[in-house]
Amino acid sequence: MLVRKHRVDFVVANAENAAGGRGVTPKVAEEILESPVHVLTAGNHIWEHDTLRPYFETHPILRPYNVDVSLPGHGSGIFMANEGTRVGVVSLQGRIFMDEKGKTASDPFRAMDVLLAEFKARADIVIVDFHAEATSEKRALAWYLDGRVQLLFGTHTHVQTSDEEIMPKGMAYISDVGMSGPHASVIGLDKDVALHRFLAGEKKRFKVAEGDVRIEGILVDIDVKAKRARSIVRIRERCASENDL
């Protein structure tokens, strides 16, 4: 078990496409939260299942922070790590190539200015999941938040990047943590279905692939007193069973 092996104190999992490749359902969210996961973050597909909406108020599930305030749920929260550290977690959505049926996000840069002012006296460290398409937007936000948060990791593209680093002012960063799921696929989609879509231009029924299941993510060591990250390491392991989590 990875959490036990690395003696992890706090786990954030992006559950964006955990329910058959589209969003997350209450059942799937509960299954993930039964494992050693403290909070679930999401992205532009979190709205796929209306049945999840009541769970935003009763479970540690964050929808994007910088969407219309009339939408249900919360985009940030303070959660307790195993050793008592107050961890501020933000689920943030990018804007470039990310328009989603009227749920376009507001400026993530200014949104973080507002939120960090609120977090100042409440959080010991801050972790941001930036769900965005464009690497340029992720890198720009990284420079903007370096020294103000302790970890910014990207999600959404389903492909793990090799640009993990500790930035000059102590923030750990990676453009995309990758995809936990079937890698004998086209970013999770059955490869034959995906090829048909590209070659024939016809959208066949979505089908999740099954082969070569892997866990991808990052392991970050943060000095809470200094409010700086010490290290960031990519994780990429093949799974024999769910017990490998």
Could you say which of 6, 38, 45, 158 is catalytic? 45
Give dist(CA 144, CA 148) in Å, integer.
8
Alpha-carbon Rg of the chain, whole angstroms?
17
Q: How far is CA 206 from CA 23, 174, 209, in A?
A: 13, 29, 10
- Cβ atoms within 10 Å, residue 205: 6
Find the farthest-apart pair of alpha carbons in the chain and give their distance in angstroms, rounded: 57
What 3-state class would DSSP assign to 18? coil
The pairs formed by 191-197 with CB atoms below 8 angstroms and a separation of 24 or more are none
> Measuring CA to CA, how many Å separate 55 from each of 58, 74, 98, 112?
5, 11, 24, 24
83, 88, 72, 1: which is closest to 39 by C-alpha? 88
The conformation of residue 132, written as its DSSP 8-state character, comes to: -
Q: φ, ψ for residue 220 (rounded to 5)?
A: -120, 135
User: 49 an active-site residue?
Assistant: no
- Report the catalytic residues: 45
